[in-house]
């Protein structure tokens, strides 16, 4: 986790946290929440639609977390979307498809199979001692490119908020990657903003590349009358440094 970022975030639980990125990669925020939740001994279900397990594990190790151990201990339930979708695409056996959480991509139905998988993974079991659960989705906008409509995604998020945030008293973290001239993506983004308690918007610099400033992060707390704080950041090998705009080494 990144201590400077953690101190700027709301300590409130049971909330929907929306991450968006624009002309930059906001994946470092996903890695922050994943490492923070695991270090806090919370049960985590990670729906990875963007990258492989080895990618997330490599970065997590730099942050002091071993995803393999967390998965083996039952603390982390990891759904590797790329592998599941490939299996679904080339599967010839209906029996295998019926167990795939992404089988809705073949049938065009709603995302209930994915929600059932997530809720089943996070629902408390006898003997478990993990703290409040958390769902992380990276990134939900990829579902649009696979034929899922924004309305279906919004229904899915609604059920995740109801089931995880309210029933299980946990958190939901969702990343949306924004693209130019993507109408469905913008509709999804605007609708999710209205549902979220905390919004983190990562943006690339309008002036272009700078070795001392990699982007800008706007943090908006919806529960506090839409109060927003703006930081600039620099991504390092094992950390991300945050500072007020204009205070980087590039302008000192």
What is the rounded distance in angstroms from the CA atom of residue 102 to the CA atom of residue 117? 10
Say if residue 244's pLDDT is above 60. Answer: yes
* pTM above threshold 0.85: yes
Burial of 202 (0-12, 13-18, 19+ CB in 10 A): buried
Average of per-residue pLDDT values in the chain: 87
Per-residue confidence band for 28, with pLDDT thresholds at 50, 70 and 90 = very high
Q: How far is CA 126 from CA 74, 123, 151, in A?
A: 13, 10, 36
Task: Return the top range by mean pLDDT from 3-12, 93-102, 211-220.
Answer: 211-220
Domain ranges across the chain: 10-199
What is the rounded distance in angstroms from the CA atom of residue 71 to the CA atom of residue 116? 19
- Structure confidence by residue, pLDDT tens digits, 140-189: 999 998 889 999 999 999 999 999 999 999 999 999 998 877 889 899 99
Say if residue 204's pLDDT is above 70. Answer: yes
Say if residue 251's pLDDT is above 60. Answer: no
- Structure confidence by residue, pLDDT tens digits, 74-120: 999 999 998 888 888 776 666 657 788 998 888 777 899 999 999 99
What is the rounded distance in angstroms from the CA atom of residue 111 to the CA atom of residue 182? 22
Strands annotated E in the chain: 16-22, 42-48, 76-80, 131-138, 171-178, 198-203, 215-221, 227-235, 240-243
The CATH architecture one would assign to domain 10-199 is 3-Layer(aba) Sandwich (3.40)
Residues 127-147 have a mean pLDDT of 90
């Amino acid at each position: 986790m990144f201590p400077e970022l953690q101190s700027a975030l709301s300590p409130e639980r049971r909330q929907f946290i929306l991450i968006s990125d624009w002309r930059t990669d906001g994946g470092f925020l996903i890695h922050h929440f994943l490492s923070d939740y695991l270090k806090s001994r919370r049960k985590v279900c990670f729906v990875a639609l963007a990258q492989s397990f080895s990618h997330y594990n490599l970065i997590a190790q730099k942050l002091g977390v071993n995803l393999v151990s967390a998965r083996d201990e039952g603390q982390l339930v990891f759904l590797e979307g790329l592998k599941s979708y490939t299996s679904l695409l080339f599967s010839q056996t209906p029996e295998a498809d019926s167990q795939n959480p992404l089988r809705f991509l073949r049938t065009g139905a709603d995302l209930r199979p994915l929600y059932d998988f997530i809720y089943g993974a996070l629902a408390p079991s006898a003997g478990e001692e993990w703290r409040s659960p958390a769902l992380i989705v990276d990134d939900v906008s990829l579902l649009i490119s696979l034929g899922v409509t924004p309305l279906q995604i919004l229904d899915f998020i609604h059920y995740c908020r109801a089931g995880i945030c309210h029933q299980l008293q946990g958190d939901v973290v969702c990343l949306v990657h924004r693209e130019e001239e993507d109408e469905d993506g913008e509709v999804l983004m605007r609708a999710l903003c209205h549902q979220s308690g905390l919004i983190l918007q990562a943006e690339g610099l309008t002036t272009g590349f700078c070795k001392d400033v990699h982007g800008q992060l706007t943090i908006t707390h919806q529960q506090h009358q839409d109060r927003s704080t703006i930081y600039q950041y620099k991504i390092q090998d094992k950390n991300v440094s945050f500072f007020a705009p204009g205070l980087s080494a590039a302008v000192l």
